[in-house]
Amino acid sequence: MELLTLVDFKDTKIDPNWGPFDYLLHVLHVDQQKLQKSQNAPPPPPTLCKQDHTGFKLRSKFNNSVGLKRKRNLKAVEEEDDGDQVAPKLKPNRIKKQEKSVCPIPPPDLPPLFRQLIVEEMGGRGLVLVIQKTIFFSDINPTASRFSIPFSQVKTHDFLNEAEAKELDDKNSMQVWLLDPSMRGTSITLNKWVMRSSSLYVLTNTWNSVVKNNQLEKGHMVQLWSFRVNSLLCFALVKL
């Protein structure tokens, strides 16, 4: 039976965190490689291996009568050469599950202060929840400068009248009014993007200022409400 030697392990890089089973797998791997290269070569002087707290060491003294055989018992690998003590097994690293943002069900109503400002002070009407979503990096990326409203998450498209829907379908943008989470008003652009497999509305142009002024961050949960003042389409962005 052909034995493994020190030469067979010259390219081995030892990981100090290896356990007994890791050594066994590596020995089997080296043995298979050697069989593929030469099955009829005469066996060179064999060596023994020893495991200690620093990892895997090869002995400097050769023993011509003993070597590492291909068929080794797992128990022999787990036991140290100088005793019957079983080497401690390393505990596998546990991967912490990433926490996911969960939308409240049912969605919370518009905060009283927003409702008072919109209805009583601005004379707004027809409040409609358009979307409730988690802020993603693409929503706060200053290069993109846009807030996405995917069709798959839109509660209703009834916030648009027939003329506005046609305007967006014709790839024309609309200037609308936005009440931001700090209850400050700003003009913003509404567009409709039709992608290959999905469609979405987007708020663009002055969106970067909204992100900066309200310290919006990835992971924040927000709601976008629509309403009208006279015939003007308006939105209110609420941070939950």
What is the 3-class SS of 173-210, one letter each residue? CEEEEEECCCCCEEEEEEEEEECCCCEEEEEECCHHHH
Q: Provide the number of structural domains found in the chain.
A: 2
Of these ranges, 66-80, 105-119, 182-196, the one predicted with the greatest mean pLDDT is 182-196
Q: Which amino acid is at 157?
A: H
| Residue ending a domain, choose from 53, 78, 103 | 78
Is 65 in the same domain as 155? no
Residue owning tokens 């308006």: 234
For residue 17, give both structure tokens.
């965190």
Mean local confidence (pLDDT), 135-159: 94
Across the strands, what pairs with 129? 225
Q: What is the token pair recorded at 191?
A: 């567009």
Are 49 and 121 in a shared domain?
A: no
Residue 130 inside a domain? The answer is: yes
Same domain, residue pair 120 and 216: yes
pLDDT greater than 80 at residue 146: yes
Residue 87 forms part of a structural domain: no
In a domain, 194, yes or no: yes
Is 100 part of any domain? no
Choose the final residue of a domain: 78, 103, 132: 78
Statement to judge: residues 226 and 179 lie in one domain: yes
Shared domain for 144 and 219, answered yes or no, is yes
Rounded-to-integer distance, Cα 73 and Cα 57, Å = 20
Q: Give the pLDDT score at 196.
A: 84
Give which of 188, 157, 190, 161 is closest to 173, Cα–Cα: 190
Range of the domain at 34: 6-78
Same domain? For 129 and 204 the reply is yes
Q: Are residues 224 and 177 in the same domain?
A: yes
Single out the residue of 58, 56, 103, 52 nearest to residue 222, CA to CA.
103
Q: Is the bond preceding 106 in cis, omega lying within 30 degrees of 0?
A: yes
Residue at 155: amino acid letter:
K
pLDDT over 90 percentage in the chain: 52
Residue 60 resides in a domain: yes
Report the alpha-carbon distance of residue 124 to residue 179 in Å, rounded: 12
Q: pTM for this one? A: 0.57
State residue 19's pLDDT score: 66
- Alpha-carbon Rg of the chain, whole angstroms? 34
Of 33, 58, 78, which residue constitutes the final position of a domain? 78
Mean pLDDT: which of 27-41, 53-67, 219-233 is highest?
A: 219-233
